[in-house]
């Protein structure tokens, strides 16, 4: 039995302790926002937050996660109101979107350290592979998220076009994002 915390909830997995965290999250907890790309630690599609660090969940076993705190994209902001989610939607960063949850989780760790990152800091923190090549746009969106966090910008003039997550109606999603509320 392996015990740790996922998205603020205690979990117990009756699985081989050598099971990669990625598979426990996806198959046992149905947290499919965390993606499988390479399985070799190269692409970053599986990135989650463990105790405040961006970690490639295909490369850490559930045994090594015992007692730790894991956050996945599903819990970054249930109302899509995180500055990164606002900025990425407003800047239309995503093409296929497959790499996005891993990139956003890595970026959220970066922005907790500094909300005004340089290009070099972004490039050092975001080593994820995007096969669609959206790197220039994602750099701009991370900087915009930083400006939103600093109160110098808002994504309000650009409608968020993505579908809301399951369980949240479009109206609730709009209510949840202050910048999109009608005056």
Residues lying near ligand FES in the complex (CB under 6 A) are found at 36-39, 41-46, 56, 58, 94-99, 130-132, 134
CB of 183 to ligand FES, least distance (A): 34
CB of 176 to ligand FES, least distance (A): 24
> Which is nearer to ligand FES, 104 or 173 (by Cβ)?
104
CB of 116 to ligand FES, least distance (A): 25
CB of 18 to ligand FES, least distance (A): 16
> Which is nearer to ligand FES, 56 or 143 (by Cβ)?
56
> Which is nearer to ligand FES, 62 or 130 (by Cβ)?
130
Tell me, letter by letter, the H, E, C secondary structure of the chain. Answer: CEEEEECCEEEEECCCCCCEHHHHHHHHCCCCCCCCCCCCCCCCCCEEEECCEEEECCCCECHHHCCCEEECHHHCCCCCCCHHHHHHHHCCCCCCCCCHHHHHHHHHHHHHHCCCCCHHHHHHHCCCCCCCCCHHHHHHHHHHHHHHHCCCCCCCCCCCCCCCCCCCCHHHHHHHCHHHCCC
> Which is nearer to ligand FES, 40 or 169 (by Cβ)?
40
């Amino acid at each position: 039995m392996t015990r740790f915390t996922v998205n603020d909830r205690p979990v117990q997995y009756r699985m081989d302790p050598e099971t990669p965290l990625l598979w426990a999250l996806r198959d046992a907890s149905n947290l499919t926002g965390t993606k499988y790309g390479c399985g070799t630690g190269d692409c970053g599609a599986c990135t989650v937050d463990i105790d405040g660090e961006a970690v490639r969940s295909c490369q850490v076993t559930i045994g090594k996660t015992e007692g730790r705190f894991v956050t996945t994209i599903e819990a970054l902001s249930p109302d899509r109101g995180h500055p990164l989610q606002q900025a990425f939607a407003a800047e239309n960063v995503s093409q296929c979107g497959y790499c996005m949850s891993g990139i956003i989780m890595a970026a959220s760790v970066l922005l907790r350290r500094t909300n005004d990152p340089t290009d070099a800091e972004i490039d050092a923190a975001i080593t994820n592979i995007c096969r669609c090549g959206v790197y220039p746009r994602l750099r701009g969106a991370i900087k915009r998220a930083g400006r939103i966090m600093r109160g110098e910008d808002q994504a309000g003039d650009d409608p968020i076009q993505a579908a809301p997550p399951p369980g949240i109606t479009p109206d609730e999603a709009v209510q949840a994002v202050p910048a999109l509320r009608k005056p």
